[in-house]
């Protein structure tokens, strides 16, 4: 029915009725079709359209008495669907007839000679009824009441009566003197192929899907040798897809301005199909195209404008290696098909545009390169779903934190599409913001849950957030419906923590748990999304076990990358788990981090007095430790930093005070206390005696901040090491 619905009224009534018969045959796999209309005076049924039958058969049923026992007569008389095992003098297994229902009752019948034994099923009966209704509507309202004058007048028979496509092909070939081209194509087969095209176009998602459908479904039924689909972009014609043309020819026509006088631009301006049956005809109308015609090596063309939503969006050219003529049936089909192709292409291009925006967004949000940090080195692989043209919501990230700590995060927004990519972007941004505030993993996930709920009831996401401290070698993590990280120790031992029972973000509002792992230096933390480990043939737990074994083999076995690269390790593991990447049902992420630890010699910790003398003690410890580390050039600024931080604690906080110095890529100073009060920079007036300490800290530090702890807080500062 899509092909019929695409017909925009440009066909004559006989051509439209012939198209209805062809579609009825294609829809139920018929050998032939008949459409009869009742004469309002005599009551006889007159054959007005036929398909798939030779002149002998069609002439036998050109007229039927109103009271006849044939299926068409019975359907037209009773207004009911009729099935008969009578093939009406053909080799058909039977005849299915449905009435043509007008405003005042049946006005005719649509009949199909069935190839398979038995009556049509319910869906096929419904399809035939829909085609019959379309034919009635397309033929227009019946004439008003008539009064017999007692006379008669002869009318010419329908041009389509007795038409036999197979015979037409023979006649055309013999007249043109090319009998070697003769190929009998049964009407039922051709219309069936056209029916397949309507299905393929309905299922097409991308523009390339539309081009592929035209190539596979249009060219064979018409015996075509070439196809070219061009679309209008910025007042030029750009090639979307082609077959049967040389690269030289395609390069010559790519990007032709619409103002150029060509056959393609001509049909776009006229908005009517153009059928050119020989090179001579083409050169007569477009003499300037001689060189292009020679390069193309084609001899006949059907040039079809693609018009959707009332505007020209491109053209489709179906071409042939030899001269040929186009029958009225072929012109009718190609014209109707061009409308269907245009609608499918318009829909597909809208999808392509959205898909491109989503891909651009996703590429911009996923890390282009993973940083090498003091705490970890990392590698990752992202694989889009092989059978999906939509982007997913899988993401991963490595976030540097204070004191050489690092946050490792992986997540999966449920679904595919631009909306999911946008949700992923919002979550990733929120994670980075919350992580920078020093919020613990469980609280961070709780905030993400609030964000997801604000997006609506249909938004869900899983997430795993972990923080690794290279000084303590502890990895603290929380999960929301996501598998916990797999640990592969340096000796190849695989540790898979029990999965937490916490639900996905947006599904509930529970308190999330926090779990800790003590990791030897050089351990691998393995993160993934379900697309990597879960499939129709493998549940997620089997997949996680296989993932752990695969990483262990790749890290310690003979398949270990010679360079030790985690990217190469990821490639090996992905090939092991997804040997056929083209057939993955979901996006997949593999994210691996190798842990490092801070040497004890690069860590110095001191307890300070709980009073004003603490600042002096801190300065003394700084001088002594920086001398041991050969960093005396930072002595002055570091003394200033610790004096201000410790003094701030003494004046505004409480509890035991502790100083810790870390030597890494930067010099890190940390001051711990038991108060949750957060220090902040304030604007001091010219007469204020205080209020400038934190301004000085910010001025001499590369960065500084506060992070919260269960027993208080830590104020930290980082200074760049002088090379």
pLDDT at position 17, please? 87
- Across 563-572, 590-599, 608-617, least confident range: 563-572
The answer to whether residues 258 and 343 belong to one domain is yes
pLDDT at 323: 94
Residues 256 and 377 in one domain: no
Percent of the chain with pLDDT over 70: 85
Q: Where does a domain end: 579, 595, 611?
A: 595
Of 89-93, 100-104, 544-548, the range with the lowest mean pLDDT is: 89-93
Residue with tokens 């990733």: 428
Residues 632 and 581 in one domain: no
In a domain, 537, yes or no: yes
As a whole number of angstroms, the distance between CA 523 and CA 672 comes to 29
By mean pLDDT, which of 56-60, 162-166, 238-242, 403-407 is the weakest? Answer: 162-166
Statement: residue 149 has pLDDT above 50? no
Confirm whether 153 is domain-assigned.
no
Q: How confident is the model at residue 388 (pLDDT cuts 50, 70, 90)?
A: low
Shared domain for 564 and 674, answered yes or no, is no
Predicted local confidence at residue 210, as pLDDT: 92
372 shares a domain with 347: no
For residue 420, pLDDT over 60 is answered with yes
Q: What mean pLDDT do residues 102-130 have?
A: 89
The CA–CA distances, whole Å, from 468 to 494, 524, 551, 702 equal: 18, 12, 20, 22
Last residue of a domain, one of 560, 595, 630: 595
Same domain, 582 and 456: yes
- Cα–Cα distance measured from residue 668 to residue 254, given in angstroms and rounded to the nearest whole number: 60
- Kindly list the distances between the CA atom of residue 599 and the CA atoms of 128, 242, 596, 604, 664, in Å, as whole numbers in the listed order: 81, 63, 9, 11, 10
Q: How is residue 108 written in tokens?
A: 């005719």
Task: Look at 28-37, 261-270, 396-405, 685-694 and tell me which has the smallest mean pLDDT.
Answer: 685-694
The domain total for the chain is: 4
Name the pLDDT band for 669 (thresholds 50, 70, 90).
Answer: very high
Q: Between the ranges 203-217, 347-361, 471-485, where is the mean pLDDT highest?
A: 471-485
Is 152 part of any domain? no
List, for residues 570-580, the tens digit of each pLDDT value. 999 999 988 77
Lowest mean pLDDT among 89-98, 611-620, 675-684: 675-684
Give a yes or no: residue 54 inside a domain: yes
Residue 156 has pLDDT above 70, yes or no: no
Residues of the chain with pLDDT > 90: what percent?
A: 43
549 with 408, same domain? yes
Q: In what order do the strands lie in the sheet with 376-383?
A: 376-383, 588-595, 524-528, 486-488, 494-495
Domain CATH number, residue 53: 3.30.450.40
Residues 555 and 455 grouped into a single domain: yes
Position 165 pLDDT exceeds 70: no
Which CA distances in Å does 154 have to 151, 157, 161, 341? 10, 9, 16, 41
Tell me which residue range forms the domain holding 701: 600-720
pLDDT band, very low/low/confident/very high, at 9 (cuts 50, 70, 90): low
305 CB contacts (<8 Å, ≥6 apart)? 267, 268, 270, 271, 272, 273, 312, 315, 338, 342
pLDDT value at residue 245:
93
Q: Is the pLDDT of residue 309 over 80?
A: yes
pLDDT at position 164: 40
Q: Are residues 552 and 532 in the same domain?
A: yes
C-alpha–C-alpha distance, residues 229 and 196, integer Å: 19
Q: If you average pLDDT over residues 524-549, what whole number do you get?
A: 89
Residue 386 belongs to domain with CATH number: 3.60.40.10
387 pLDDT higher than 90: no
Q: 162 or 454: which carries more pLDDT confidence?
A: 454
Can you tell me the mean pLDDT for 369-375? Answer: 89
Taking CA atoms, 562 is separated from 220, 340, 527, in Å, by: 53, 56, 23
pLDDT tens-place string over residues 178-215: 333 334 344 545 555 666 777 788 888 889 999 999 88
- The pLDDT of residue 151 is 46
Residue 343's pLDDT band (cuts 50, 70, 90): confident
Q: Mean of the pLDDT values across residues 517-539?
A: 90
Length of the chain in terms of residues written: 723
Mean of pLDDT values over 471-498: 94
Mean pLDDT of the chain: 83
The 3-class secondary structure across 347-358, one letter per residue, is HHHHHHHHHHHH
Please report whether residue 426 resides in a domain: yes
CATH of the domain at 668: 3.30.565.10
Co-location of 589 and 460 in the same domain: yes
In a domain, 691, yes or no: yes
- Domain co-membership, 389 together with 485: yes
Residue 231 has pLDDT above 90, yes or no: yes
In this prediction, residue 559 carries a pLDDT of: 57
Is the pLDDT confidence value at 706 over 80? yes
pLDDT above 80: residue 26: no
Give pLDDT, residue 71. Answer: 92
**pLDDT value for 74:** 92
Q: Is 337 within a domain?
A: yes
Q: Is the pLDDT of residue 177 over 80?
A: no
- Type and span of the H or E element at 448: helix 441-454
Residues 20 and 129 in one domain: yes
Question: Of 595, 610, 634, which residue sits at a domain end?
Answer: 595
For the record, the structure tokens of 39 come out as 């004469």
- Asked, for residue 578, whether it belongs to a domain, the answer is yes
Whether the CB-CB separation of 628 and 595 falls below 8 Å is answered with no
Which pLDDT band, with edges at 50, 70 and 90, does 390 fall under?
low
Instruction: Determine the average pLDDT of the residues in 650-674.
Output: 90
């Amino acid at each position: 029915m899509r092909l019929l619905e695409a017909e925009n009224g440009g066909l004559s009534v006989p051509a439209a009725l012939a198209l209805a018969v062809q579609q009825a045959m294609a829809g139920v796999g018929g050998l032939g079709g008949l459409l009869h209309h009742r004469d309002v005076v005599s009551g006889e049924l007159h054959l007005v359209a036929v398909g798939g039958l030779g002149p002998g058969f069609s002439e036998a049923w050109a007229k039927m008495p109103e009271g006849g026992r044939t299926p068409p007569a019975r359907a037209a008389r009773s207004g009911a669907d009729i099935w008969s095992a009578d093939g009406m003098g053909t080799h058909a297994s039977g005849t299915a007839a449905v009435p043509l229902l007008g405003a005042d009752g049946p006005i005719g019948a649509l009949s199909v000679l069935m190839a398979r034994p038995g009556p049509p099923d319910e869906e096929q009966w419904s399809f035939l009824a829909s085609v019959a209704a379309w034919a009635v509507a397309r033929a227009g309202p019946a004439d008003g009441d008539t009064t017999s004058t007692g006379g008669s007048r002869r009318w010419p028979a329908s041009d389509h009566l007795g038409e036999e496509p197979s015979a037409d092909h023979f006649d055309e070939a013999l007249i043109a003197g090319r009998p070697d081209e003769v190929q009998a194509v049964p009407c039922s087969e051709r219309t069936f192929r056209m029916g397949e095209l309507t299905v393929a176009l309905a299922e097409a998602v991308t523009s390339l899907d539309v081009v592929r459908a035209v190539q596979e479904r249009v060219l064979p039924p018409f015996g075509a040798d070439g196809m070219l689909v061009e679309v209008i972009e910025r007042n030029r014609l750009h090639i979307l897809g082609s077959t049967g043309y040389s690269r030289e020819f395609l390069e010559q026509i790519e990007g032709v301005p619409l103002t150029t006088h060509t056959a393609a631009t001509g049909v776009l301006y006229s908005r009517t199909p153009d059928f050119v049956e020989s090179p001579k005809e083409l050169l007569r109308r477009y003499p300037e195209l001689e060189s292009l015609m020679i390069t193309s090596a084609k001899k006949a063309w059907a040039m079809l404008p693609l018009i959707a939503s009332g505007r020209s969006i491109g053209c489709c050219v179906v071409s042939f290696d030899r001269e040929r003529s186009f029958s009225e049936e072929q012109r009718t089909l190609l014209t109707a098909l061009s409308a269907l192709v245009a609608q499918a292409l318009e829909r597909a291009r809208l999808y392509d545009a959205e898909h491109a925006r989503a891909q651009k967004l996703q590429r911009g949000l996923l890390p282009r390169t993973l940083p090498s940090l003091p705490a970890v080195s990392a590698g990752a692989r992202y694989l889009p779903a092989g059978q999906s043209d939509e982007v997913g919501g899988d993401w991963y990230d490595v976030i540097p934190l204070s004191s050489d700590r690092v946050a490792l995060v992986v997540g999966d927004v449920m679904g595919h599409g631009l909306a999911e990519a946008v949700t992923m972007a919002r979550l990733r941004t929120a994670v980075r913001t919350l992580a920078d505030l020093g919020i613990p993993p469980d609280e961070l996930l709780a905030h993400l849950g609030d964000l997801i709920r604000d997006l609506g009831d249909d938004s869900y996401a899983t997430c795993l957030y972990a923080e690794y401290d290279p000084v303590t070698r502890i990895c603290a993590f929380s999960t929301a419906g996501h598998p916990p990280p797999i640990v592969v120790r340096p000796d190849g031992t695989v540790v898979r923590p029990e999965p937490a029972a916490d639900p996905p973000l947006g599904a509930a509002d529970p308190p999330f748990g926090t779990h800790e792992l003590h990791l030897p230096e050089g351990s691998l933390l393995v993160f993934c999304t379900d697309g990597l480990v879960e499939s129709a043939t493998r549940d997620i737990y089997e997949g996680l076990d296989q993932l752990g074994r695969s990483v262990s083999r790749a890290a310690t076995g003979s398949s270990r990358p010679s360079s030790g690269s985690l990217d190469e390790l990821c490639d090996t593991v992905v090939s092991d788990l997804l040997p056929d990447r083209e057939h993955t049902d979901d996006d997949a992420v593999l994210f691996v981090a190798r842990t490092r630890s801070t040497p004890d010699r690069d860590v110095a910790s001191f307890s300070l007095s709980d009073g004003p003398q603490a600042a002096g003690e801190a300065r003394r410890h700084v001088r002594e430790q920086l001398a041991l580390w050969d960093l005396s050039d930072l002595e002055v600024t570091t003394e200033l930093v610790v004096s201000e931080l410790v003094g701030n604690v003494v004046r505004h906080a409480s509890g035991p005070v502790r100083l810790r110095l870390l030597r890494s890529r930067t010099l890190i100073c940390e001051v711990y206390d038991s108060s949750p009060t957060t220090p902040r920079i304030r604007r001091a007036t010219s007469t204020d005696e205080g209020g400038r300490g934190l301004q000085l800290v910010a001025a001499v530090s590369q960065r500084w901040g506060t992070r919260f702890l269960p027993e208080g807080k830590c104020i930290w500062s980082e200074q760049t090491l002088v090379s």
